[in-house]
Structure 1
């Protein structure tokens, strides 16, 4: 791997404090200094490669994806969330994917639109009780909204009363995870993720609370049945059968998938919407165009599923926001067997890091990469762009199964909000990205609320 440049071992060791404090800056610095492929000497025995070239991303996630498994950094998530689609591997993962994939078919996803819009309308009705100019944290508000959508659309459950407990529990789990994987001990001590540190104990208590909520949802569903309403994701999970064996999901598997959906299904969309509202506030021309489109397409009525394809600029705004602030900001894989990139050997066990945060800012594929320009995602604009220059939902067979759901949700929620309200960033405040499991605003995003 000598031809791939990178810092010396001594320099890399000196970067560890920066990695722990501000990993985005460190990744960006490495890419600027050494290019699209960077060899990073690390404390682990296995080589670490940082890749921001779309061709390399395609090779790892798609072209030779059978040779790559989730990196060791996913082990702590498995300890906390179980064997859901996010953390599972091998044939167990493939079987589970076969069971879950049909649940996110477009015909099912479109059926969730009324629940999405209903959740947003409920939030906006609550905002009406606030005076014009009131300050709110859109990060917290979008978190509660996305959790409401998860409850309504996926579980037919009202989670608004539990949002005040669920959100802190999810935050505790994510903070414990990121503290663990940024510790040197994680990389040099076998099974360090199982040590009962104070952080681990706090995460276990939070995880137990999340599982208690999930268990109550499952128990209530088994007792009540569908009760004549449209089927939700939980109904589909309980009814799903493997084509080969005819077997249903085990109780444990249902729990693990629901835990994963609680985390991935609300945290990612919440962050995407919070960053989007911030970017619209700082780019008023884009917001004026979005509001005009929303007014023209919806003519004052709530959005419906069939409106999503007509809201082209609204969708483009969401996609551009996820380019700059991808909720899934980093993807990591480990090589099972030897491989190569353009003749450069990749030994077995190598960890390959492909951060969408860097790939989305690659100047070879994105003119003015730091600029906010939704026109990049208008129909036809991506025709000449590398397919893997943009990967907000990952790529290959492990691409996020809920990508279509998330896109519809973010588009309809943003349209519903923009129809009634305009939010402005509090003067003097600049949000700071906090890369945990997802890319969150570190101290929230305070904005003032204004009726349109």
Structure 2
């Protein structure tokens, strides 16, 4: 197994010689494939990827995504309204009615749990982009399932590392037998039957949610102005066939993991960074309020709303008016790429970066590592959105930045994720102040709402904080 991190070598693997590599075949990726199999997330040419792109690709096009920006803004503001107040909206919903992992209220803080809040928001944004508003009917099941799968996949990762250590440490250290047995020595790691049954239960729950969504489309596909209804009816121009419901279900599952969980992680990190940087919030706010869509109350804004002046700002104009907000998002996912590591397996003997790789060698690619390489990034651990000003981008290696991968199989949802995030951050900062929430056992005069709590990284499925972060969304006057 090799880690490939230099942009020249990444170009070889992802762009110039992709046919020499196939999908990564290791236990962690096999876990992931249990959920996203037979979806565009994991298909390759030999599996029918090109045909699938013909059938579902148009809905990921910028010309179809960006016009939905006003609805994304409205959805963001409506969702944030649920999180207002010291109790994080607890009075609006019975916290005992949903599983703990889905509960937004922070019982020991004067705010909300950031990750569940962003899960709720980004799932609804995915509804705007692709799935339709009725995805909210399965909101609880989807969030609970994804969280549960993350936890179980992380357990397997821990066992894999322990097994690796256990097989190699005895060569240099004489470990007690009980400890050696506890670490394990079998390279083929299996979760216990109880954990494996839980994985199946969460997968079944996700499948049930996807089936419910598809069933509604089958009854009246034209009633839903969304991608799913379109995909059911679209016919392939080559073979004349359309997607069957079972295949469409797999696309829904793939997008719930790849489309929802990744944007959730990025938005969670964005709020974490913004809460510690009120000056960045203020700059986004100023930029957003210059747009017609997020202009504050006043004569000019109301005149446009009443039709006394022509409203000229469409989704494209709105997004184009937010260059700084976009740079904040780009810098967020440079520091914390939602997919911190992915990979390929060599399909033939090949040479990468001067190293000869035999067929079957695993090649890991880590945007997290490449994004922090000081050869391409000055002071790489510092948050600095100016890195993405046009002049800076033009002078940097194209593959020094790859949060959505690169090449033919780059993430299909890059435009959707970027548009959702930019719209949501602009809406958030234009009307709210985000701060860290005070624990109830800390006096107000002893708490700094802009001091970021220390967190470690949790990289199971995607990259997110390893613990609860609690914030307050306070409406601006």
TM-score (normalizing by structure 2): 0.79
Equivalent residue of 1:273, what SS? helix
How far is 1:95 from its partner? 2.2
1:166–1:240 CA distance, 2 compared to 1 (3 A): same
Q: Deviations over 1:351-374 (max 9, x none)?
A: 111100001001100001000000
Length, aligned pairs only: 402
Aligned 8 A contact 1:104 1:404 in 2: yes
Q: 2:144 aligns with which of 148, 160, 168?
A: 168
How far is 1:437 from its partner? 0.6
Which deviates more from structure 2 when the two are superposed, residues 422-431 or residues 342-351? 422-431
**CA distance in structure 2 between the partners assigned to 1:106 and 1:311 by the alignment:** 16
Aligned 8 A contact 2:80 2:473 in 1: no
Aligned 8 A contact 1:155 1:233 in 2: yes
Counterpart in the other structure of 2:278:
284
**CA distance in structure 2 between the partners assigned to 1:115 and 1:321 by the alignment:** 24
Q: 2:35 aligns with which of 70, 80, 83?
A: 80
Equivalent residue of 1:226, what SS? helix
Aligned 8 A contact 1:327 1:438 in 2: yes
Q: 1:371 aligns with which of 372, 382, 386?
A: 382
How far is 1:171 from its partner? 1.1
Q: 1:397 aligns with which of 398, 401, 408?
A: 408
1:408–1:401 CA distance, 2 compared to 1 (3 A): same
1:236–1:178 CA distance, 2 compared to 1 (3 A): farther
Would you say 1:226 and 2:222 are equivalent positions?
A: yes
Aligned 8 A contact 1:312 1:379 in 2: no
Would you say 1:451 and 2:406 are equivalent positions?
A: no
How do residues 254-333 of structure 1 correspond to structure 2 at under 5 angstroms?
A: 254-297=248-291, 298-300=294-296, 305-306=315-316, 307-333=318-344
CA RMSD of aligned residues (A): 2.5
Would you say 1:68 and 2:64 are equivalent positions?
A: no
**CA distance in structure 1 between the partners assigned to 2:228 and 2:61 by the alignment:** 15
Would you say 1:146 and 2:114 are equivalent positions?
A: no
Aligned 8 A contact 1:148 1:158 in 2: no
Aligned 8 A contact 1:75 1:87 in 2: no
How far is 1:50 from its partner? 0.9
Q: 1:408 aligns with which of 408, 413, 419?
A: 419
Q: Deviations over 1:81-131 (max 9, x none)?
A: 321122233232232233222221112112332332232121122234557
**CA distance in structure 2 between the partners assigned to 1:304 and 1:118 by the alignment:** 14
Counterpart in the other structure of 1:55:
8
**CA distance in structure 1 between the partners assigned to 2:465 and 2:71 by the alignment:** 26
Equivalent residue of 1:372, what SS? coil
How far is 1:191 from its partner? 7.7
How far is 1:346 from its partner? 1.2
Counterpart in the other structure of 1:31:
none
Q: Deviations over 1:133-163 (max 9, x none)?
A: 9411222111100111223432223333532
Counterpart in the other structure of 1:207:
203
1:319–1:84 CA distance, 2 compared to 1 (3 A): same
Q: 2:58 aligns with which of 95, 99, 102?
A: 102
Q: 2:240 aligns with which of 227, 239, 246?
A: 246
Would you say 1:178 and 2:188 are equivalent positions?
A: no
1:332–1:98 CA distance, 2 compared to 1 (3 A): same
Counterpart in the other structure of 2:182:
none
Equivalent residue of 1:127, what SS? coil
Equivalent residue of 1:79, what SS? helix
5+ residue gaps, structure 1: 1-47
How far is 1:330 from its partner? 0.6
1:293–1:157 CA distance, 2 compared to 1 (3 A): closer
How far is 1:286 from its partner? 2.3
Mark the structure with the bigger radius of gyration: 2
**CA distance in structure 1 between the partners assigned to 2:325 and 2:396 by the alignment:** 21
How far is 1:333 from its partner? 0.7
Aligned 8 A contact 1:140 1:444 in 2: no
Aligned 8 A contact 1:276 1:318 in 2: yes
Which deviates more from structure 2 when the two are superposed, residues 277-286 or residues 326-335? 277-286
1:342–1:130 CA distance, 2 compared to 1 (3 A): closer
1:126–1:116 CA distance, 2 compared to 1 (3 A): same
5+ residue gaps, structure 2: 89-108, 165-184, 306-312, 438-447
Equivalent residue of 1:151, what SS? helix
Counterpart in the other structure of 1:40:
none
1:186–1:214 CA distance, 2 compared to 1 (3 A): farther
Aligned 8 A contact 1:115 1:153 in 2: no
How far is 1:407 from its partner? 0.4
Counterpart in the other structure of 2:229:
235
**CA distance in structure 2 between the partners assigned to 1:202 and 1:304 by the alignment:** 46
TM-score (normalizing by structure 1): 0.83
Which deviates more from structure 2 when the two are superposed, residues 115-124 or residues 426-435? 426-435
**CA distance in structure 1 between the partners assigned to 2:336 and 2:366 by the alignment:** 11
Counterpart in the other structure of 2:466:
442
1:304–1:445 CA distance, 2 compared to 1 (3 A): farther
How far is 1:271 from its partner? 1.3
